[in-house]
Structure 1
C-alpha cells in the first residue's frame, strides 16, 4: 500500500477530522443522551467544565439493545473518589432506565490533566478528535490538530505491555462463568484491535473507528495475524465467554502486538499512575 495515499478520516490538510456529532445520534438514543446530560449537571453543577459523548452513539452507528453509552467528563478540579462513585451510580441509573443501551461508561478527569503536556498526544487527542461536545466549553479549541503519525501511535497505544499483567490478574480473579468472561473478552478484543490499527496507522495514513475496518487494515500489513484480528473485531461487538480466547489474548496476540509496537514506535511515556 503506497504511503502517499490519504485514507478516510482526514481533512483536506491531512489532519484527523473530528468524528461524531449530536446530529448523528440515532433517534432511539436521544432520550438517553438527554437524561445523561441533565444528570451530569445535577451531580456536578458549577464544577463541571465540559462533557462529551464518544463511541458509536455520536457516530450514528449504535445498535439498540447492544451498544453502550460512552461519556467523558472534565471537571474544573481533579476528581475525587466520591466523584467517581457518583458517575458510576449515574451510569447504573441511566442503564436501568433505558433499555436502548447496554451499559454506560464514563471517563472522569480534571481539566488541567486533559490539557497537560503529558496528555497532549493521548487524552487531549482523544477529546479533540474522538469526542463530541455535549456540555460546557469545548477543550478542543485549546488543543492542536493531529496527524496519524508515529508520535500519536506511540502515545495512544504504546503501553500494551503494561496492560497485559493487569489483564492476567483480571482473568484470574473473574468468576469461572461465561457471563463473567464476556465483558473481559469484549474489552480486550476492542483494545487489541485498536492497538493493531494504530500500529499501522502512520503507514495507512488515515483514521477509522470501525473495529472491522481496523482489523482489516492491520491484517493487510500483518497477514499472519489477520484472522486473529478479524475474530477479535467480531468479539468486540459480540463477545463470547470462552476462557481460551482470553488466554490467547494474554499469551499470544497481546505479547506479539506489544513487542511489535515497541519495535516500530517505541514505548509510551510513563504517567504517574504507571
Structure 2
C-alpha cells in the first residue's frame, strides 16, 4: 500500500506548524524590521502587549522594492482612533525611510480580542500559525494547536458572501485608471485565492502561503475553476488594472466561491466589526 502524501505545513501529528521566523528575514529587510521593533514601544508605551511580523518578510520570500512590511500589534486594551492614527504614521515613516519595502500594513487588536472564543479559529489561529513574534510575550502560548479542518476553514474565510457587496462598492468608488485599479486587483486576487485554498484545505491536509501552490491545490478538486484561480494567483503577485478582471471577481468567481464555501463548510460566525 502506498504511503499517504505528506503535505507541507504540518508536524508529524498533523498539526499546523508556525511559518516564518526572524532567522528567515532576508538581509535586505533586517534594517526595517529592526526599526519597527525599536520604534513600536515609543508609540504605545506600556499599553503594548506584543508585536508580530507576518507575510513574505518572515517567510524569507520578500522581494526588494515589491514587498510590504506586515505587522500585527496586540495592545493591553482596545485600540482607539488615536492608536490607529499613530500606527499609520509609523507605517508611512518606515515606508518613506526604507525603499526596500512597498508600504506597511498593520493589524491592530487588543489582547482580549485575539484570545477571545470568537476569534479562536481566526485571528488567534493567525497569530499562532502565521505570525512571527517580534516583541513582548507570545500569545501563542495561550492558544491550542490547530489542524487544517473544516472548522478552521469556516472561521477563516467563510465570510466571502458578506464581503462581495463591499467589494462592489469599492470598485464603483475607485478612480477609473489602470493605476488606481491595480491595488484592488491585487487585494481581491489574493483574497479569492486564499479562500479557494481554504475551501479545499481539509481535503488537501496541509498548509502553504504561496499563492501559486494554493491555486494548484484548489485546482485538483475543482478543475473547472482551476484556470481562474491560477490567473488570480498571478495577479496576486503581478496585478493588472483591468476592470474586466474586477467585474469577473464580483460577478462570477466570487459568488460561485462564496456559495460553494457555504455549502461545504458553512458560514463564519459574524464579528462585531
- Shorter chain as denominator, the TM-score bin is over 0.9
For 2:54, the equivalent position in structure 1 comes to 54
Contact 1:6 1:14 in 2 (8 A): no
Consecutive unaligned residues in structure 1, runs of 5 or more: none
What secondary structure, in the 3-state scheme, does the structure 1 residue paired with 2:50 have? strand
The answer for the alignment partner of 1:24 in structure 2 is: 24
Structure 2 counterparts to residues 192-207 of structure 1, below 5 A: 192-207=192-207
Q: Is the 8 A contact 1:5 1:205 kept in 2?
A: no
Please name the residue that 1:77 is paired with.
Answer: 77
SS in 2 for 1:78: coil
After superposition, give the CA deviation of every residue in 1:136-167 in whole Å (9 maximum; x if it has no partner). Answer: 00000000000000000000000000000000
TM-score (norm: length of structure 1): 0.98
Give the secondary-structure state (helix, strand or coil) at the position aligned to 2:118: helix
Matched residue, 1:265: 265
The superposition leaves residues 5-44 of structure 1 with CA deviations (integer Å, 9 ceiling, x where unpaired) of 4311101111000000000000000001011111211100
Deviation per residue, 1:241-265 (Å, 9 max, x gap): 1111111000000000000000000
CA offsets per residue over residues 153-209 of structure 1, 9 Å max, x none?
000000000000000000001111111111100100000000000000000000000
CA distance in 2, matches of 1:170, 1:6: 40
Aligned residues: 272
Gaps of 5+ in 2: none
Counting only pairs closer than 5 Å after superposition, residues 2-17 of structure 1 correspond to structure 2 as 5-17=5-17
| TM, length-normalised to structure 2 | 0.98
Asked if the contact 1:122/1:156 (under 8 Å) is kept, the reply is yes
Q: Is the 8 A contact 1:53 1:134 kept in 2?
A: yes
Which position in structure 1 is the counterpart of 2:159?
159
Q: Could you say what secondary structure the match of 1:221 adopts?
A: coil
Partner residue in 1 for 2:116? 116
Kept after mapping to 2: 8 A contact 1:215/1:229: yes
Query: Which residue is equivalent to 2:252?
Result: 252
Distance 2:142 2:161 in 1: 31
CA contact (8 A) 1:51 1:73 kept: yes
Structure 1 counterpart SS, 2:220: helix
Regions of 4+ moved over 3 Å: none
